[in-house]
Amino acid sequence: MIAPWTATVLTLFPEMFPGPLGHSLAGKALERGLWRLETVDIRAFARDKHRSVDDAPFGGGPGMVLRPDVVDAAIAGIAGRPGPLLYLSPRGHRLDQERVARLSEGPGVRLLCGRFEGVDERVIEAHAIEELSLGDFVLSGGEPAAIALIDACVRLLPGVIGDAAAVAEESFTGNLLEYPHYTRPQEWRGRAVPEILISGHHDKVRQWRQAQAEAATQTRRPDLWQRYLARKRDRH
Ligand code: SAH
């Protein structure tokens, strides 16, 4: 049997895992062996008797920086684990659904979670570690970002979501946001469900949803809308 998709996480807080990944969709898939999770405590690779992993920044300034020798030893400790080595960092390339899809098609990921002011630049250079950001905001540590990345990958793994069509239709597929959803009750606080959705005309429903997806993308995310138009133009 081939090994399942594997997430290996380097962290100072292994107790934060699996956390949300142990519940619902991801948790059930973990139990069923559809993916694997391994956490490695960076502190286990500290060299001195105080087990220190960080130190003050050269050049001064606030906060502490994770030492390159300790992080390097932790990376050596996970040699042979599958997947690209990625550092969750606000300085990284912004993670998007396309990248998530590519990562989920591979054998797994190895994730380095920073804390404090981050990681000494030299260890990032020495291992040519790619940096990925969740968005233009600052977290207190890489762990929530790692959990988000893993969650996004795991739900795309074969067999994790029963209905594969759910994944094919959702937001960002083809650079569009998803159309709005409605369920029972059919009327709620004087608001009715759009007529077309109860008409039983599948083609009309599909057209309506496409129009809704386009309208939402155009008004909410002009950046995505431009990419959508560009791709459409390329196809013609
Ligand atoms: N001083 C840094 C922020 C450090 S935040 C700066 O200004 O760039 C501490 C850690 O949280 C980082 O090392 C990183 O691993 C994680 N982190 C913070 N914001 C993040 C984001 N937007 N995406 C991914 N990881 C993030």
> What is the domain partition of the chain in residue ranges?
5-154, 169-235
Our answer on whether the CB atom of 217 is closer than 6 Å to any ligand 1 atom is no
Distance CA 157, CA 5 (A): 8
Distance CA 54, CA 144 (A): 20
Our answer on whether the CB atom of 94 is closer than 6 Å to any ligand 1 atom is no
What pTM was estimated for this model as a whole? 0.96
Our answer on whether the CB atom of 142 is closer than 6 Å to any ligand 1 atom is yes
Architecture of 5-154 per CATH? 3-Layer(aba) Sandwich (3.40)
- In this model, does residue 1 exceed pLDDT 80? no
Beta-carbon count within 10 A of 20 CB? 15
The CATH number, out of the four listed (1.10.1270.20, 2.40.30.260, 3.40.630.30, 3.40.50.2000), of the domain defined by the range 169-235:
1.10.1270.20
Please, where are the H alpha helices in 53-173? 68-77, 97-105, 121-126, 143-154, 164-169
Q: Convert the pLDDT of each residue in 110-164 to its tens digit.
A: 999 999 999 999 999 999 999 999 999 999 999 999 999 999 999 999 999 988 7
Long-range contacts of 15-20 (CB under 8 A, 24+ apart): 16/143, 16/147, 17/143, 17/147, 19/147, 20/147, 20/151
CA of 92 to the centre of ligand 1 (A): 9
The pLDDT of 6-26, averaged and rounded, is 98
Our answer on whether the CB atom of 65 is closer than 6 Å to any ligand 1 atom is no
Our answer on whether the CB atom of 11 is closer than 6 Å to any ligand 1 atom is no
What pLDDT, on a 0 to 100 scale, did the predictor assign at position 129? 98
CA of 12 to the centre of ligand 1 (A): 14
Closest protein CA for atom 8 of ligand 1: 90
Q: Which atom of ligand 1 is nearest to the CA of 95?
A: 23
Closest protein CA for atom 10 of ligand 1: 141
Our answer on whether the CB atom of 106 is closer than 6 Å to any ligand 1 atom is no
Distance CA 89, CA 141 (A): 9
